[in-house]
Structure 1
Amino acid sequence: SGTGKTTTTFTKQNDSQPVQDDFIALMPQGKVYATENGCFAKTFGLDPKFEPAIYNAVVDSGSYLENVSQNDEGKVDFFDESYTQNGRATFPMSKVAGAADARGLGTASILLILNRNENIIPGVARLTGPQAAAYFMLGETKGTSAGGKEEAGKSLRVPGTNPFFPLLHAQQGNRMLELMHSSPMEVFIMNTGRVGGPDDHPGSKKVKIPHSSAMVKGVAEGTIKWEKDPDFGYEVAVSCPGMSAEDLDILQPRKLYEAQGRMDEYNKQVATLKANRLEHLKKFEGLDPELIQAIS
């Protein structure tokens, strides 16, 4: 929850058309099936400037809102958190401008895995198939208000499609690996949080919606230049059209830490994260060793 999946899906890139918000069936060779005809969106901080498609659908008379503040005249306030940040809205896809019919989809050529981190994960990185299956199982994110006060802001790992997968965790990881081997699709991980530290750290940078939008567009158009990351083995972006020069360190957090004289902090975080990831994946009995080796 809270990684920006809905926002990313409904942010328009060129002539892109959103198909649906949540569940799909991913089959061998990248075939995709989708059945939903609605969307369930977080409303806190909803701004028509950055999320026009979602905003216009949410304020339409056909939507249902929950935990959203409104005044006596019925005007809603998506920035009022006096009761809760966990506001939600549901609306039919027919209310989304330019949405496409979910039936009759073809094959997927690109898969984005979204992650909300606040330190050393780049805004976008290109993964191998085994790395993709491993990151799918790591399921790294930050807790949100949807999980209550105890969970909000904490680093979490939610394997794969949990809590919607009824079998052993290792089985979904192994299945994901099978799907990666059967498909020529490119897979990317995107950090929709921050780099360089939490929001109260003066040296940190927020990955804003326009940043993510530029990365998605660059991925789709194949215009990002890549190089191998020396710490994690995936590929990181050297440049991305639409990203300003002062924000390029969002693409390579290592350079941000280096420029700020924080390499000891960076190296410590790299070592800790890699060790914790390995420890986490080794807990899943029966998980294909190829997934574990992919992040070693």
Structure 2
Amino acid sequence: METFGLEKLGIINPTAVYRNLSPAQLTEAALRRGEGTLSNTGALVVTTGKYTGRSPEDKFIVDTPTIHDSIAWGKVNRPISQDKFNAIRAKMVAYLQNREIFIFDGMAGADPACTTKFRIVNELASQNLFIHQLLIRPTSEELAAYGEADFTIIAAPGFKCVPDTDGVHSEAAILVDYEQKLVLIAGSQYAGEIKKSVFSVMNYLMPNHGVLPMHCSANMDPETGDTAVFFGLSGTGKTTLSADPARKLIGDDEHGWSDNGIFNFEGGCYAKCINLDPEGEPEIYNAIRFGSLVENVVMDPETREFDFFDGSITENTRVGYPVNYIDNAAIPGVGGIPKVVIFLTADAFGVLPPIARLDENAAMYHFVTGFTSKLAGTERGVKEPQPTFSTLFGEPFMPMDPSVYANMLGERIEKYNTKVYLVNTGWTGGPASGEGKLGSRMKLKFTRAMVTAALNGELEKVEYKHDDTFNLDVPQSCPNVPSEIMNPRDTWEDKAAYDVSAKKLAKMFADNFAKKYPNMPKNIAEAGPKGE
């Protein structure tokens, strides 16, 4: 039996080893093993058990002398000793003996100068299908000449850690050893942990190659090649807005910015499915077909039809599919130097303008701040909108000091004269929840129109008004958008209530910035909202 070098990891007694099976073969294996069922569209549907999302408190980085000074240690990047890592690795490898093993040898980084080879070793065929579709798939010639991987990830959801013995937080653990070039994922069946482990590794490696790694989506004009990137946390619309039928999709989540331009780290997309509407998001809806992996979406057991509006398992329902399932995908996933950068936020307070122009200092401020807000009711005890500040719009995946990434972005904005806008895909006319008159979610067609105007230069021709509270320049008109929604205060019936909420959120911005970035240069610190 061919083992494809698994013995180098200590896996010496597998019952079978499968390398780079096709999506059809992996789907068959998952069905045979009882890992999931087929939907009426042919997609493989699984439930992920206890873990229906990432588990940030369970992520650790092995602290060794070689990498110690390059990691921003803290609540996000928690250290674990080499001895503890090695002990867990030994137990995980023992767990994998006498089991079927699924290997995917693929790549991250569509720019050949920056391509990194990843070997993913899976206990589950369904997770192997996921990562097969999410990473860049080698051709048969590339696979024959693949050689050794640059990094290896072992994912074994059935192996449960013992916190007291293993020195971790729970039965699940995501452990990254940058020295041994190895990642261990234990206890969680949520496939996003594998994807984001690849991202975390790339975020550590790429700056040393002069490449800015970014948690963003990207697309480009099919005729001119003009490229745009969209930063934003989950639920802000990165995937939706970048899947624009009028533009070519480069990728929906993870990219690098080199001297040559933008390139996708991945070969697939991982989209949220909650409230998925075929009219509003046809590209994602139509991508849910044979070869896709669907996580935690409720399905009628008889008809096998999805109910995308049922969040009873989790609001974080997901689908993973290859980027070529999007008709207008750019293959390979490369584009030019970005002409426009969009920062997306979903403001549940309903007080930020739907779009605002940022100068270089304000761009740096909002990049390091990474604001969005979670809704009341999504977590126990949350009774009003809660601010979420995630550094660089991707704090959980950035192992180095934020200034490393922020300085790289600032240098590029200045060098290439890239235009930057802050777009609020959240609420208008009032808050998402609470007392008084509630607002409504910004209509997708208006957001799309504003983004289009930013991309084609129309917003450079209109009048602007300065918002003193948030220190933003707000366009007073935009093609195909009602002018009355451009200034959020005008959309509130109770102007005094707006003023209270706006000042409250501005103070949250200021307090967060002062706490997290006390050493940030004055010109950047003063470019944000006023907290008085």
TM-score by length of 1: 0.87
The reply to whether residue 128 of structure 1 matches residue 356 of structure 2 is: no
Question: 1:174 and 1:277, CA in 2 relative to 1: closer, same or farther beyond 3 A?
Answer: farther
Is the 8 Å Cα contact of residues 351 and 488 (structure 2) preserved in structure 1?
Answer: yes
Is the Cα–Cα contact under 8 Å of residues 170 and 285 in structure 1 kept in the other structure?
A: no
Q: Does 1:236 align with 2:465?
A: no
Matches of 1:249 and 1:102 in 2, distance apart? 41
For residues 277-296 of structure 1, the aligned pairs below 5 Å read 277-283=509-515, 284-295=517-528, 296=530
CA distance in 2, matches of 1:96, 1:106: 20
> Which residue identity lines up with residue 24 of structure 1 in the other structure?
H
Quote the offset at 1:27 in angstroms. Answer: 4.0
Q: CA–CA distance in 2 between the matches of 1:33 and 1:216?
A: 21
Q: Aligned-residue CA RMSD in angstroms?
A: 2.4
Comparing 265-274 and 205-214, the one that deviates more: 265-274
| Paired residues for 1:1-296 under 5 Å | 1-12=234-245, 15-27=246-258, 31-58=261-288, 60-72=289-301, 73-118=303-348, 119-143=350-374, 154-160=386-392, 161-199=394-432, 202=437, 204-224=439-459, 225-231=462-468, 232-243=470-481, 245=482, 248-257=483-492, 260=493, 262-283=494-515, 284-295=517-528, 296=530
Higher relative contact order (CA 8 A, sep 6+): 1
SS at match of 1:111: strand
CA-to-partner distance for each residue in 1:206-228, whole Å, 9 max, x for gaps? 20211111111111222232313
Amino acid aligned to 1:234? L
Secondary structure, counterpart of 2:437 in structure 1: coil
Q: Which runs of 5+ in 2 are unaligned?
A: 1-233
Deviation of residue 289 (structure 1)? 2.2
Deviation per CA, 1:186-236: give whole Å up to 9, x if none.
Answer: 001111110232345536232021111111111122223231323233221
1:87-121 deviation per Cα after TM superposition (whole angstroms, max 9, x unaligned): 10000011111111244421110010000103211
Matched position secondary structure for 2:396:
coil
Aligned residues with identical type, % of pairs: 28
For the residues of structure 1 that align with 2:455 and 2:406, how far apart are their CA atoms?
26
Whole-Å separation in 2 of the counterparts to 1:156 and 1:53: 29
Report the alpha carbon displacement of residue 35 of structure 1 after superposing the two structures with TM: 2.9
Structure 1: runs of 5+ lacking an equivalent: none
* Alpha-carbon offset, residue 140 of structure 1: 1.0
CA distance in 2, matches of 1:144, 1:221: 33
What one-letter code is carried by the residue in structure 2 that aligns with 1:110?
A: V
Q: Deviations over 1:65-103 (max 9, x none)?
A: 000111123211111223322210000011111111244
Kept in 1: contact 2:356–2:422 (CA 8 A): yes
Greater shift, 234-243 or 268-277, is seen at 268-277
SS of structure 1 residue aligned to 2:270: strand
**Separation (CA, whole Å) in 1 of partners of 2:467 and 2:427:** 20
Is the CA contact 2:242–2:252 (under 8 Å) kept in the aligned structure 1? Answer: yes
CA distance in 1, matches of 2:381, 2:403: 27
Q: Helix, strand or coil: the match of 1:229? A: strand
Q: Secondary structure at the match of 1:24?
A: strand
Kept in 1, the 8 Å contact 2:251–2:333? The answer is no
Equivalenced residue count is 285
Q: CA deviation at 1:39?
A: 0.2
> Structure 1 CA distance, aligned partners of 2:463 and 2:291?
44
Shift of the alpha carbon at 1:285?
A: 4.1
Structure number with larger C-alpha Rg: 2
Question: So what's the TM-score if we normalise by structure 2?
Answer: 0.50
The alpha-carbon deviation at position 294 of structure 1 amounts to 1.2
SS in 2 for 1:136: helix
